[in-house]
Structure 1
Amino acid sequence: MTEAPSSGPGWGREYDDRHVHAGHPPGARHEPEPAFEGPLHALSQAAWQLVLLTGVVSLILGILVLIWPGPSLLAAGVLFGIYLLISGVFQLAAAFGTHRTTSLRVLAFISGALSILLGLFCFRGPMESILLLALWIGIGWLIRGITQILAAAHDSRMPARGWQIFLGIVTFLAGVVLIVSPFESVTVLTVVGGIWLIAVGVVEIVTAFRIRSVARQVPQNV
């Protein structure tokens, strides 16, 4: 500790560091440091917010699809074709620009080429894109339904487990119907898609609030 020189009352105060080592005077108010938020607590908070956002978006999209079925389905067909084209281009780039094994590169090339062809097929006419979109949605619903049922059946601690199993069964059956007999009516397909989006949105919102109730039990510093 540096002693303050005694040559004068004000001389050398800039060299006096005794105030640094001195404690707080009696009666002084010491502000507590804010609690540190642990990674698990932050993750639990972000999880239910993300699920809630997904549910709200699905619910809004489902309502819009039911209100404007025609424009919504045509827009979905165009976006689906664009998605297939972009996905195909990226898969072809991955096939030629990566150092993976030959078999994986061949599979990526075939998948990319088929994706581009299907994307171009969507732009031949609205009915072609709608038919392809129906089959694509049917396969997606089938896989999602099976995955959701298995996940809920094997995890007894899953929030809203009964709703998850019910939604998985409904999604699986809807996928089977779309694959076996694609809808001829554009309106029916649109209504089914809108109802499915609303159902998913409601289940996701319920799941988000259940996750929030569990997340509140996680200590903030964990």
Structure 2
Amino acid sequence: MGDITRSWWLLLVRGIAAVIFGILALIWPGLTLLALVIFFGAYALVSGLFALFAGFRHGAQSRAWLIFSGIIGIVAGLVALAWPGITSIALLFVVAVWAIVSGVSEIVAGIQLRKRIDNEWLLILGGALSVIFGVLLLAWPGAGLLSLAWLIGIFAVLYGIAMIALAFRVKNFTSGAPVP
């Protein structure tokens, strides 16, 4: 239990980063493809690094899935940053695959953590939102970059809120405060 509760702040940082990224995407939906690629790449890289770090701090049950999710985030971020001239459709597929794979990883980690923490459904919810987001991108690839910016922004804000809520639930559990 201590491994999970000591790293509550990693969930908080991931959530805050997601909310900030989402708000920026919503404020400036007309950004050029280059700016969107850089924003996404930076977010995926930071999120992946924190997921990887959390994976090394957790017990054996959830470690592999968090490490896997972190590696996928880091790779997606590096791909986006290495090739900023990527077309919007290629960016759409990179984002969609990353969202689906990391979402499934978080759902599995949440299920595995059911016996170790309360309210693991928040991690599962974040993962489910990620999978739904990825599937929607694959279902309508021709939606255009403006739509992609809005979808990414909305997803990131909702996902960030779920991670922030989970972080505070885990922190409250750490401090011995009763968790409703």
TM over 0.5: yes
Q: Given the two structures, how large is their TM-score scaled by the length of structure 2?
A: 0.63
Question: Which SS does the other structure have where 1:174 is aligned?
Answer: helix
Residue 8 of structure 2 aligns to which amino acid in structure 1?
W
Aligned residue in 1 for 2:140: 181
1:27-75 superposed Cα distances (whole Å, 9 cap, x missing partner): xxxxxxxxxxxxx69x844x12232222122112211110111227531
Aligned residue in 2 for 1:74: 34
RMSD, aligned CA: 3.1
Change (3 A) 1:54 1:79: closer
CA contact (8 A) 2:21 2:39 kept: no
Residue 134 of structure 1 aligns to which amino acid in structure 2?
L
Q: How far apart are 1:76 and its partner, in Å? A: 2.5
1:60-98 superposed Cα distances (whole Å, 9 cap, x missing partner): 22111101112275312256789xxxxxxxxxxxxxxxx
Aligned residue in 2 for 1:134: 92
Q: Give matches, 1:28-43, under 5 Å.
A: none
Change (3 A) 1:145 1:54: closer
Question: Which SS does the other structure have where 1:158 is aligned?
Answer: coil
Question: Which SS does the other structure have where 1:69 is aligned?
Answer: coil
Considering only CA atoms, is the larger Rg found in Structure 1 or Structure 2? 1
Residue 101 of structure 2 aligns to which amino acid in structure 1?
I
Structure 2 alignment gaps of length 5 or more: 43-77
Q: What is the aligned-residue identity percentage? A: 28
1:157-209 superposed Cα distances (whole Å, 9 cap, x missing partner): 33432222233222212212323432432111011100111012101111111
Q: Given the two structures, how large is their TM-score scaled by the length of structure 1?
A: 0.53
Question: Which SS does the other structure have where 2:31 is aligned?
Answer: helix
CA contact (8 A) 1:134 1:183 kept: no
Aligned residue in 2 for 1:148: 106
Aligned residue in 2 for 1:192: 151
Structure 1 alignment gaps of length 5 or more: 1-39, 83-114, 218-222
Aligned residue in 1 for 2:174: 215
Aligned residue in 2 for 1:11: none
Question: Which SS does the other structure have where 1:75 is aligned?
Answer: helix
CA contact (8 A) 1:65 1:72 kept: no
Change (3 A) 1:119 1:52: closer
Aligned residue in 1 for 2:59: none
Question: Which SS does the other structure have where 2:30 is aligned?
Answer: helix
Aligned residue in 1 for 2:58: none
